[in-house]
């Protein structure tokens, strides 16, 4: 899976905001803000990644329990799926 190309991540005043571009401007009405960890995962999803690969990336970057990392990644991926931001 990876992020759709019609969405970009912008840092605004210390927050990370998902912004639609192109044709998605008309269709996308949600406002999605991400924390630093979400922004990290977003950047990783610019390339094809599995949930397990994202968990590994998170564990390499942050000192977190593996079960917490997996749960957080699964929750993040589900958010992106719900908003139709992923290509799978």
| Distance separating alpha carbons of residues 23 and 46, to the nearest angstrom | 19
* Number of domains the chain contains: 1
Partnered with residue 10 across adjacent β-strands are 17
Report DSSP state, residue 18: E
pLDDT > 90: percent of the chain: 73
Report yes or no on whether pTM surpasses 0.85. Answer: yes
Structural domain of 37: 2-87
> pLDDT tens string for the chain (88 positions)?
999 988 999 998 889 999 888 766 556 667 789 999 999 999 999 999 999 999 999 999 999 999 999 999 999 999 999 988 999 9
Q: Which CATH number goes with the domain that contains 74?
A: 1.10.10.1150
54 Cβ neighbours under 8 A, 6+ residues apart: 41, 44, 45, 73, 77
């Amino acid at each position: 899976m990876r992020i759709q190309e019609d969405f970009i991540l912008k840092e605004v005043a210390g927050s990370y905001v998902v912004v639609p571009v192109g044709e998605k401007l008309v269709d996308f009405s949600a406002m999605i803000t991400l924390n630093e960890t979400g922004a990290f995962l977003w950047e990783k999803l610019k390339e094809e990644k599995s949930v397990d690969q994202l968990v590994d990336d998170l564990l390499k970057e942050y000192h977190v329990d593996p079960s917490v990392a997996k749960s957080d990644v699964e929750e993040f991926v589900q958010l992106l799926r719900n908003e139709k931001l992923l290509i799978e």
